[in-house]
């Protein structure tokens, strides 16, 4: 439904996550029939360094979808919603999908994470699920970002000879591309939390299947580069709300897409611009895998610097001014330094 924070002006169905999940299931069925009936090459072969149970991963994906679907229907409170996400991520970790050891860049050898790999993996997957969820604010935005990122993960997985990650990546890319036909502005359906949590969670799963293995520090940063836009948007929202002395969970209109619209772009232009930014980061991620360590660090530094400049240009870390009506009914803009800001922010959030 339309609201003060949303930019849509008419009611739109928001259970599109079902369509995305069905697309993924269909892709899995086709792959299964191809390998069993048509002698297609078997792709679900885990890395020698990582023993995973694919049935467990499938169960974790279904679990995160259920959490989002229940939230779409019943509007879960933050704690039960978070616990559901943790449970889904824990299923994946228990299935063997964990962050591998890290190459020591100073002394050589590997840094063994041991039992810490499990809680770190859970936090990692929950974070990935939520960064896509938080940026889902314009028609086609989350689906397009996921489509670009998953295609890039497909390329990286092929280069790394990780066919299981490649198969899942291209399936996710196809599912989101098909959904984008109906989700791009003007959208006829929204993905809802069932879709956005599912997409983010799957990006995290794929990254663990492909690049987040026994690797150097810069290689482990690749998934963060691929998801750079949602990460920047989430991090800036946390900083912005803390500076405004309001809850981190307080919704506002300071996200990247809101700022672009304030700059004069329409919805389609804002979305396409974010697509281009995402594509640039993804291209940089691919380049990082093909060069020596020093150029890799330079490419990473360049991407971080350009994204930081863009974020500052859009004032992503600046608290959002609020409309406030004084005792005489006059509309005024107030900032976090105003004594009535916190009360007004709470009132608008609850409203």
**112-145 pLDDT, tens digit each:** 777 888 998 999 999 999 988 888 878 889 999 9
* Of the candidates 240, 223, 220, 141, the residue with the CA atom closest to the CA atom of residue 183: 141
Residue 205 lies in a domain: yes
Which is nearest to 92 in space by CA: 7, 208, 181, 247? 208
Cα distance from N-terminal residue to C-terminal residue, the chain: 14
The answer to whether residue 173 sits within a structural domain is yes
pLDDT band at residue 17 using 50, 70 and 90 as cut-offs: confident
In a domain, 68, yes or no: yes
Look at residue 351 and tell me if it is in a domain: no
The token pair that represents 172 in the structure block: 């996710």
DSSP state letter for 215: B
Kindly give the residue spans of alpha helices, DSSP state H, lying in the chain.
17-37, 54-74, 78-94, 117-135, 141-159, 163-183, 192-210, 217-220, 222-226, 228-243, 256-262, 267-289, 293-313, 341-350
How large is the average pLDDT for residues 282-289?
Answer: 88
Report yes or no on 313 lying in a domain: no
User: Does position 59 have pLDDT exceeding 90, yes or no?
Assistant: yes
Residue with tokens 């996200």: 255
38 in a structural domain? yes
**What's the CA gap between 245 and 338, in Å, rounded?**
11
pLDDT higher at 332 or 31: 31
Q: What is the mean pLDDT of the chain?
A: 79
How far does CA 293 lie from the centroid of its chain? Answer: 27
Comparing 92 with 53, the larger pLDDT belongs to 92
Number of domains in the chain: 1
Please give the Cα distance from 310 to 278 (Å, whole number): 12
Residue 295 located in a structural domain:
yes
Query: Is 196 contained in some domain?
Result: yes
User: Highest-confidence range of 40-44, 59-63, 226-230, 293-297, by mean pLDDT?
Assistant: 59-63
Domain that holds residue 36: 17-243+266-308
What per-residue confidence (pLDDT) applies to 81? 94
Rounded Cα gap, residues 93 and 348, in angstroms: 39
Q: How far apart are CA 299 and CA 151, in angstroms?
A: 20
- Going by DSSP bridges, is the β-strand pair 331-334/322-325 parallel, antiparallel, or unpaired? antiparallel
């Amino acid at each position: 439904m339309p609201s003060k924070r949303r930019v849509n002006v008419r009611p739109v169905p928001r259970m599109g996550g079902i369509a995305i999940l069905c697309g993924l299931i269909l892709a899995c069925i086709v792959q299964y029939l191809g390998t069993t009936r048509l002698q297609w090459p078997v792709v679900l072969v885990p890395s020698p360094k990582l023993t995973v149970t694919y049935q467990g991963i499938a169960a974790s994906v279904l679990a995160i979808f259920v959490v989002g679907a229940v939230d779409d229907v019943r509007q879960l409170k933050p704690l039960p919603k978070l616990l559901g996400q943790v449970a889904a991520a824990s299923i994946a970790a228990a299935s063997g999908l964990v962050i591998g050891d890290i190459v020591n860049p100073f002394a050589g050898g590997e840094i063994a994470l041991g039992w810490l790999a499990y809680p770190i993996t859970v936090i990692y997957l929950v974070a990935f699920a939520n960064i896509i969820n938080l940026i889902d604010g314009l028609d086609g935005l989350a689906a397009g970002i996921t489509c670009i990122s998953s295609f890039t993960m497909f390329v990286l997985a092929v280069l790394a000879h990780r066919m299981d990650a490649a198969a899942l990546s291209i399936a996710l890319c196809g599912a989101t591309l098909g959904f984008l036909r109906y989700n791009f502005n003007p959208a006829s359906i929204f993905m809802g939390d069932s879709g956005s949590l599912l997409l983010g969670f799957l990006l995290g799963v794929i990254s663990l299947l492909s690049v987040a293995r026994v690797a150097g520090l810069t290689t482990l940063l690749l998934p963060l580069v691929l998801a750079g836009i949602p990460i920047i948007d989430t991090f800036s929202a946390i900083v912005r709300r803390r500076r405004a002395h309001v809850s981190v969970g307080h919704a506002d209109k300071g996200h990247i897409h809101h700022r672009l619209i304030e700059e004069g772009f329409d919805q389609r232009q804002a979305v396409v611009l974010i697509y281009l930014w995402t594509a640039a980061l993804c291209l940089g991620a691919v380049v990082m895998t093909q060069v020596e360590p020093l150029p890799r660090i330079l490419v990473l530094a360049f991407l971080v610097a350009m994204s930081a400049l863009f974020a500052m240009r859009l004032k992503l870390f600046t608290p959002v001014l609020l409309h406030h009506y004084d005792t005489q009914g006059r509309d005024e803009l107030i900032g976090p330094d105003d004594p009535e800001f916190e009360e007004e922010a709470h009132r608008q959030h609850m409203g």
